[in-house]
Structure 1
């Protein structure tokens, strides 16, 4: 079974975090939500989520992918926590998947993980992502090797389905998408 770690900071974007967790779990992927600190975490719109564990505990475990949700000040809080850089560096060195949506690709860019890569982000954060040789796109989801980025709350289902395809396969993505009854 594939596994995903989602660090969660105060001020996260609820629509992104919850829809990604839900879609991945529908695909049979183990998702562990890890709070930067112990206890419930309040999102940018006052929704409270109780993480599965703390980031300290989760960092001792091994996952196939780390996913950073957007939202402000959630992304700022993730960026300022030194454990996030350690985590992203470790996953890159192990050739594991990293994924970020909305403002969170700015974290990947700042830490050098998007150098020479194709990526996207929320348009408001383009200047923080399109740096140092990053090939910026305005597609809903951009995949480059083991890195997947996306634009924002409105693209979170597309993003989550792309993660399912990366972690499992196209057939599982199609099965999950069919159950969502999406209109095209």
Structure 2
């Protein structure tokens, strides 16, 4: 496992609708590898995670996305859940942060429905990625190529389909952060 001491990983989520395991599993992976995870959201306070459609635990927000700087983080993780990325793509600060992060060349890892935020940020054109199957038309319409694979790496983007893909997603995320870019 990569040793990521001194690395800081941003996790960007909306106030609710986050698929719990898609936040907590990568969070634990980066934390166990020695990195510092930071929870960003459009609003201060707490965010509500879900197990599918059932409320799960709340998590405290560390910083609002409007006050966050791409320069302060080594990577960005975008957990899924249907309502989470749908709300994020309506927040101009969140969309701008995601766009700037992808354009910085730093690692951006998105799982399940999270690529909706990448579509809104207009950063999928010419890229190959995967997601929850219902997003494939949105990805294609935004100029991306959708494929049905456990994990897809294209440049600095890492994408996966669903919680079953978390082991591969987390492994690729840790490897990419350890080397500063996504492995090809």
Q: TM-score range by the shorter chain?
A: 0.7 to 0.9
TM normalised by structure 2 equals 0.84
- The alignment of Structure 1 onto Structure 2 pairs a total of residues equal to 169
State the 1:60 CA deviation.
Answer: 7.4
Match of 1:166, SS state, is helix
What is aligned with 2:182?
none
Q: 1:39 to 1:132 in 2, by over 3 A?
A: closer
What is aligned with 2:21?
15
What is aligned with 1:117?
127
Unaligned runs of 5+ in 1: 170-184
What is aligned with 1:33?
39
Q: Aligned partners of 2:85 and 2:130: how far apart in 1?
A: 15
What pairs up with 1:60-79 in 2 under 5 angstroms? 62-79=72-89
Q: CA RMSD in A?
A: 1.7
What is aligned with 2:8?
3
Unaligned runs of 5+ in 2: 1-5, 180-184
Q: Aligned partners of 1:67 and 1:60: how far apart in 2?
A: 12
Q: Aligned partners of 1:60 and 1:107: how far apart in 2?
A: 16
Greater Cα offset, 44-53 or 32-41: 44-53
State the 1:132 CA deviation.
Answer: 3.8
Residue-by-residue CA offset, 1:69-123 (whole Å, 9 max, x unaligned): 1102111111111111211222233222222110111221232211111100001
Match of 1:46, SS state, is strand
Q: Does 2:52 align with 1:46?
A: no
Q: Aligned partners of 2:167 and 2:67: how far apart in 1?
A: 28
Structure with greater proportional strand content? 2
1:23–1:157: 8 Å Cα contact kept in structure 2? no
Q: Aligned partners of 2:142 and 2:91: how far apart in 1?
A: 22
Query: Please, which of 114, 119, 130 is the counterpart of residue 140 of structure 2?
Result: 130
TM normalised by structure 1 equals 0.84
Query: Please, which of 99, 103, 106 is the counterpart of residue 113 of structure 2?
Result: 103
